[in-house]
Amino acid sequence: MKLSDDIRAQLKFDDKGLITAIAQDHETNEILMLAFMNLEALEKTVETGKAHYFSRSRGKLWLKGESSGHVQLVHDMYIDCDADAVLMKIEQLGGGACHMGYRSCFYRTLEGDVISEKVFDPKDVY
């Protein structure tokens, strides 16, 4: 599969060339993580069916799960009404999406209460 020229022209990347990307479990609809993609990451995701992102801290493209083995298989992709965000319905392989060891990156409340249990030990993975 390839990203169409029509969709590519509609997408609104920010001034750093990034677009917000949300990973959502394709069966439960649980939001697992939010990250960013540049055009290369988006194209690789579409081509391979595996989620690729752009790491702002490392300044480079990365395949989700390249070091942890916790790969995200993409079932469907959507863009929002403003064309400035991508939603991916994914199948999370391995323990979880969060590099802190949780299934979802949204494992705590605004007050700081942890509402989930770790599914893997990050020291064993990274």
DSSP letters, 55-100, are ETTTTEEEETTTTT---EEEEEEEE-TTS-EEEEEEEE-SS-S-TT
Task: Please report the domains of the chain, with CATH numbers, ordered by start residue.
Answer: 5-120 (3.10.20.810)
Residues 12-46: pLDDT tens digits? 999 999 999 999 999 999 999 999 999 999 999 99
Residues 84-120: tens digit of each pLDDT: 999 999 999 988 999 999 999 999 999 999 999 999 9
What amino acid occupies position 121? D
Q: Provide the residue type at 77 as one letter.
A: M
Q: What is the pTM of this model?
A: 0.93
From residue 17, alpha-carbon distances to 20, 35, 39 in Å are: 10, 13, 7
Tokens of 121: 């030990």
Q: What is the token pair recorded at 12?
A: 């609104």
Element (H, E) at 2: none
